[in-house]
Amino acid sequence: MKKLWLLLSVIVLGFALVSCGGDDKDKDPNPNGGEKQLDVELADTFKSFAKNKEVYLTTVGQADIDIVQNILENAAGLVEDQDFIRNHELTADQVPFGSVVFLVTGTSSKGLGAASTDVQAEKNRATAFVNKANAGQISIVLLHVGGEARRGSLTDPILNVACPGADLMLVVADGDQDNLFTNFSKNNNIPLYLFSKATKMVPAFAKLFE
Amino acid sequence: MKIMQLSKKQKGILYSSCFIILALVITFWSGKNFYDFAHYETEFAIRENVVTRVEKFSKYSPRLKGTVGDSNIYVIEGAEPGPSILIIGGTHPNEPAGQVAATVLLENLTVERGTVYIITEANRSAYTHSHPQEASIQYFGIETPYGVRTFKFGSRATNTNQQWPNPDVYVHRNSGQKLSSADTRNLNRAYPGSENGTYTERVAYAITECIRQNNITITIDLHEASPEYQTINTIVSHNRKEALKIAAAATLMMESNDVSIRYEESPLNLHGLTHRELGDYTDTLAFLLETSNASQGKIRGAFTEELVLTGKDKFYQKAMEKGIGKILYAAPVSLDERVARHVYGVYEIIQAFNKYYGTEGLGELKVNGFPSYQDIMTNGVGNYLKEIIK
């Protein structure tokens, strides 16, 4: 009888440990391990990632493109039309082989109205960029600088198609409270760098053009 | 002594008379209250050695002359000519941070180069009544070193005494866009306005013409919104490239100084608003700033002066704690903070303008005397309101 109790206890303990393990895994705020690290320097593999390449800046969601442009200009000293092309309606067809596309995510209903477009059209544009990136023809630096306010039903459908195609994701951490970016990073092996605020991205941008 | 016995008929007359007298007293009291509120004049400290001149709306929209809507435009000119800025407060008198921020700027700024135009009561008619069924307060006071300064809490819309009736559907004159009936008396749906249009359109026309005739470089309209509105803590910018560049730079600077804010581009198809029409119909770089005002909220509790001043509301607090809906009410936002945001927003927009466009055209706009965000938060907005000298 004692042996039976011992066996039962071992089985129950075993289940308990497995259950605990499963919960921890689901709730892990950072599947890559440890606390989320903010404002970390880009790995050296990204040094000069965009240097001497054709650089395009666009938005899929019609928001925050001017914030990213401001950082591009100030951090990397780039000049619009000379060092990069900004086009908020850029399509994948317009981007030549070998280019780097800075894809700004986060959707604004006002911005959609200003551009006379909608979420589905933006999602389609994002898909075309991702297809081109998956074919090895372009690189995508995906940006999300708007934090939690730029998440939700207008933004997430676009993120779901855009994130898997990125070569690198630079994200303001407030927008990753539900680990959406962290999970894309883990599941697709895409480097993700989280920042406490958009201005903290300046050194990362500088490194891409070093 | 024999008590006089009243007949049934006499009793009826007595009771009816009492009710009629009571009704008259209540009517008189309500009427007097309404009359006093409508005729109360908010005072602003005009520094004689700083404010160059005071213009009237009727200079730009003549049919407003002699009406309640003939507001003041305070002009502060620098020693050197240069770019100019118009700051609009009081478009919506139920959004008090806009008026108080404009007042702080009026009473503190000095100009070295260029010109500052300030409006503190853009829609004066809307300051003569309050919104029906909102049970809002009529006045709120701000403690200053010189005593309590009283401001009015009015309505979002022009008083029906000035504009009546509302059409079933408001059709925006210039675009033909159909808007809700109530928006026919909303100044921020009336731009660019019309010289001979409705009362509200004539007020909008005065502001548009002021910008056009003075070739005002930058216009900033100061507003507030309920905490659940998606556009709070936002700079809304006209979609002209220069304006967007300035809005983005100002946003980044405010963010870097831990003032959480974002910018939005003005939709092309939402007409009548300052950030759309003033940018389209004039050469000004048009912006609108929004803060979070719990007293405008749909789920707020009792409407009190404290709610306006502190932003504390137990129902918003509960909604936030329970995560009900998309409540952006992360914490009570005091009037101090809302005014500090507006004042700081105006400052950073000017800095961004100078950074990108200060070396071309009219050169830099040099304005001094801004109380810092931190100063207003630490000392309270009342410390930046000047003494009213009679």
Q: Which ipTM was obtained for this model?
A: 0.78
Cα–Cα distances in Å, from B41 out to B71, B142, B295, B383?
12, 16, 23, 22
B267 upstream amide cis, omega within 30 of 0: no
- Residue B60 parent element (H or E): none
Tell me how far apart the alpha carbons of residues B308 and B324 are, in angstroms, rounded to a whole number: 23
**Cα–Cα distance between B345 and B290 in angstroms, integer?**
10
The whole-number pLDDT of residue A2 equals 59
In this predicted structure, the answer to whether residue B140 has a pLDDT above a threshold of 80 is yes
Q: What is the pLDDT of residue A32?
A: 46
Enumerate residues 14 to 43 of chain B having a beta carbon within 8 A of any beta carbon in chain A: none
3-state secondary structure (DSSP) of residue A11: helix
CATH code: domain B46-384 is 3.40.630
Contacts of B262 in chain A (CB under 8 A): 64, 146-147, 149-150
Return the domain boundaries, chain A.
Answer: 43-208
Interface probe with B: pick from A39, A59, A64, A66, most Cβ of B within 10 Å: A66
Whether residue A108 and residue B269 make contact (CB cut-off 8 A), yes or no, is no
* Whether A110 and B266 lie within 8 Å, measured CB to CB: yes
* Domain coordinates in residue numbering, chain B: 1-39, 46-384
For A43-208, the fitting CATH number among 2.40.160, 3.30.1380, 1.10.1420, 3.40.50 is 3.40.50
Q: Does residue B78 contact residue B114 with C-beta atoms inside 8 Å? A: yes
pTM of the model: 0.89
Average predicted confidence (pLDDT) for chain B: 95
Scanning the structure block, which residue is given the tokens 């009359």? B35
pLDDT band at B320 (very low <50, low <70, confident <90, very high): confident
Contacts of B290 in chain A (CB under 8 A): none
Query: Model confidence over A184-203: pLDDT tens digits?
Result: 999 999 999 999 999 999 99
User: pLDDT: is A8 or B267 the higher one?
Assistant: B267
Chain A residues touching B238 at Cβ < 8 A: none
Rounded CA-CA distance B216/B214 in Å is 5
How many Å lie between the alpha carbon of A81 and the closest alpha carbon of chain B?
A: 14
Nearest to B262 among A112, A149, A199 (CB): A149
CB contact under 8 Å between A110 and B264, yes or no, is yes
pLDDT score at B298? 86
B interface test, pick of A70, A89, A104, A107 with most B CB neighbours within 10 Å = A70
B175 touches chain A (CB under 8 A): no
For the four alpha carbons of A114, A117, A118 and A122, in that order, the dihedral sign comes to negative
Tell me the chain B residues in contact with residue A152 when contact means C-beta distances shorter than 8 Å. Answer: 326
CA dist., res. B179 & res. B175, Å (int)? 11
Type of residue found at B165: P
Percent share of chain B, pLDDT over 70: 98
Chain B positions touching A149 (Cβ under 8 A) are 230, 262, 328
Q: How far apart are CA B318 and CA B369, in angstroms?
A: 40
Chain B residue nearest residue A152, CA to CA: B326
What is the distance between the alpha carbons of residues B106 and B44, in angstroms, rounded to a whole number? Answer: 8
